[in-house]
Structure 1
Amino acid sequence: MALTNATNNGRAVRLAARSNTLSSPTAGLAPSYLQANLIVLPRQYATDFRLLCARNPVPCPLLAESDRPGSFNELKSYIRHPSSSSPVTVASDIDLRTDAPKYRIYKDGTLAGEAADIVDAWQPENHVGFLIGCSYSFDDALSAAGLTPRYVAQGFNVPMYRTTVPLCPAGVFVGGTVVVSMRPYRSSDITKVRDITRAFVTTHGEPIAWGWEAVSRLGIADVGKPEWGDVPLTADGKRVFGCQDTKEEDDYVPVFWGCGVTPQEAVMRANLTGTVMGHAPGHMIVLDVQDRDVFPEVRG
């Protein structure tokens, strides 16, 4: 679904998802509005998950959570106003059960399927929802600087990869590894890309690695075969980026950021009992917070 400029804001995207008129990835929607990954856990794992986020702030930046177990529409915000340090309300009208375009449901640590909403699976007084920062949040700032991410321009989902970089463990969450997203950029643009995204500290910030040597260093087997999202293509959209004959394509190299799919990967590794839920990769919950509200330096 393509939203009009007049309604292209966080609430409009959430309402479209809630009414099931939006089922596609949210990349490029509601420019300048922060987007968030979702993970929903039984309450007994909430304390360990908060600690996981605190110990791994780059791939797991915690934005907000249910203000009490079972709450899906009242959230405690961890986003702070830059001048007063007071909490910033993430959304005035939000339902964690319906406001992502697509969800994933896990049963006892195993992916059980995808759904348009998680109303029936949500357990009152038990489930706790957590919103994690998403790198889609800085794509508009990159575009404003003439550095539109290729997957946005091509209308695809960002490619995401499982790495061998270990997460710092927290309680039941052991054995997890960092998940990264990738955007190709020319080597000459990397400094500018780093400078632009660095300010977005609660949505993964600047890249953690770049260049072809970073692929093996992160433990990624093949840039052309992401575990989540769409296969990256060259600028002409005809070849897979990262294949042997494209590695010198106008000096483009892969650039990697921390990714909010990391918590879902951690849940899979932890083999938690009960029902766990999250957004389908690329299908975010869009908030009412704009980047200028919390990162004033990115807009000058």
Structure 2
Amino acid sequence: MDAYKVRERIRSGQHKKTTSGLANDNVQANLVVLPKEYAFDFLLYAMRNKTPIPIIEVLEDGKFKSRYAKDSDIRTDIPFYNIYKNGELVDTVEDVKEFWQDDFVSFLIGCSFTFEDALIKANIPLKHIEENKNVAMFKTNIPTERAGVFHGNMVVSMRPIKKEFVDQAVEITSQFKDMHGGPVHIGDPSAIGITDIRTPDYGEAIELSEDEVPVFWGCGVTPQNAILQAKPPIMISHKPGYMFITDINNEAFKDSK
């Protein structure tokens, strides 16, 4: 199914699952929406922390149509959204029209789901897709560089990779610099502050086999962690694992950078 049809299904409520594995040839994006008074600090925060927060598009003045997705509406074209008020998660909803403000600035942020297609095409198994699960995501002790009110530690996504494919997975994902790039850590989860690999902070647990290594990539959920410290009056984001799907081809976007 192409990206346009997937967005239609999401908008109509027909698709309410994770977008991992959907429209595999297309760039997927995280979403952060903030009032204008917080937008500059957030943009600076993203520029200083490009690995977990690679910006691919900014929409100003309450605009909600992405130039990278035909007839799109970022208020309705994601399966689920998280609503934060004063740093607290207050609701998870299927569209955000009732919350929309004319002063909103929206950021579409690169997502590691984009490079998953390249891994699959290289015959590197991805267990969460095989098991029809959301990817596992964890808070870490890896600090981000502060900008204004935004600060906090990085969030990472984890994929069990068979030992013989780890070097190849690093090589492939490192080509997608605007989609988190190569791993930030490989191996022992405790080295980056993860105490229990079986209990992710976001997404779903994925079992590790004896022949697999946990591999961790920067994750676009990092801003949701930073929001706990910044406490803006309102922030809208995607629910982790439920992304905005663009019309941009993965390989074309990678090669354009």
The CA distance in 2 between the partners of 1:143 and 1:111, in whole Å, is 34
Q: Post-superposition shift, 1:158?
A: 0.1
2:195 maps to a residue whose letter is A
After superposition, where does 1:160-199 map in structure 2 within 5 Å?
160-174=137-151, 176-199=152-175
Select which of 238, 255, 258 maps to 2:215.
255
Select which of 38, 62, 87 maps to 1:70.
62
User: Any gaps of 5 or more consecutive residues in structure 2?
Assistant: none
Q: Decide whether the 8 Å contact of 2:64 with 2:75 is kept in 1.
A: yes
Residue 201 (1) aligns with residue 161 (2):
no
Tell me the residue number matched to 2:120. 143
Report the number of matched residues.
256
Q: Decide whether the 8 Å contact of 2:32 with 2:106 is kept in 1.
A: yes
Residue 275 (1) aligns with residue 234 (2):
yes
Residue 223 (1) aligns with residue 215 (2):
no
After superposition, where does 1:21-100 map in structure 2 within 5 Å?
21-66=14-59, 68-73=60-65, 75=66, 89-100=67-78
**TM-score, normalising length: structure 1:** 0.83
Q: Post-superposition shift, 1:190?
A: 1.1
Q: Decide whether the 8 Å contact of 2:85 with 2:231 is kept in 1.
A: no
Q: Deviations over 1:17-73 (max 9, x none)?
A: 11111111000000110100001001100000110110000000001011x221111
The CA distance in 2 between the partners of 1:93 and 1:206, in whole Å, is 32
Q: Decide whether the 8 Å contact of 1:162 with 1:180 is kept in 2.
A: yes
**TM-score, normalising length: structure 2:** 0.96
Q: Decide whether the 8 Å contact of 1:165 with 1:218 is kept in 2.
A: yes
Q: Decide whether the 8 Å contact of 1:40 with 1:128 is kept in 2.
A: yes
Tell me the residue number matched to 1:284. 243
Q: Post-superposition shift, 1:193?
A: 0.3
User: Any gaps of 5 or more consecutive residues in structure 1?
Assistant: 1-7, 76-88, 234-240
The CA distance in 1 between the partners of 2:31 and 2:218, in whole Å, is 15
Select which of 81, 85, 90 maps to 1:112.
90
Off by >6 Å, runs of 4+ in structure 1: none
RMSD (Å) for aligned C-alpha atoms: 1.3
Q: Post-superposition shift, 1:172?
A: 1.0
The CA distance in 1 between the partners of 2:58 and 2:255, in whole Å, is 24
The CA distance in 2 between the partners of 1:154 and 1:183, in whole Å, is 12
Q: Deviations over 1:243-294 (max 9, x none)?
A: xxx5xx12x110000000001111122122x221100010000000011212
Residue 123 (1) aligns with residue 101 (2):
yes
The CA distance in 1 between the partners of 2:19 and 2:96, in whole Å, is 18
Q: Post-superposition shift, 1:207?
A: 0.8
Select which of 158, 183, 187 maps to 1:211.
187
Identity %: 41
1:223 maps to a residue whose letter is I
1:232 maps to a residue whose letter is I
Q: Highest Rg: 1 or 2?
A: 1
1:55 maps to a residue whose letter is R
Q: Decide whether the 8 Å contact of 1:139 with 1:148 is kept in 2.
A: no
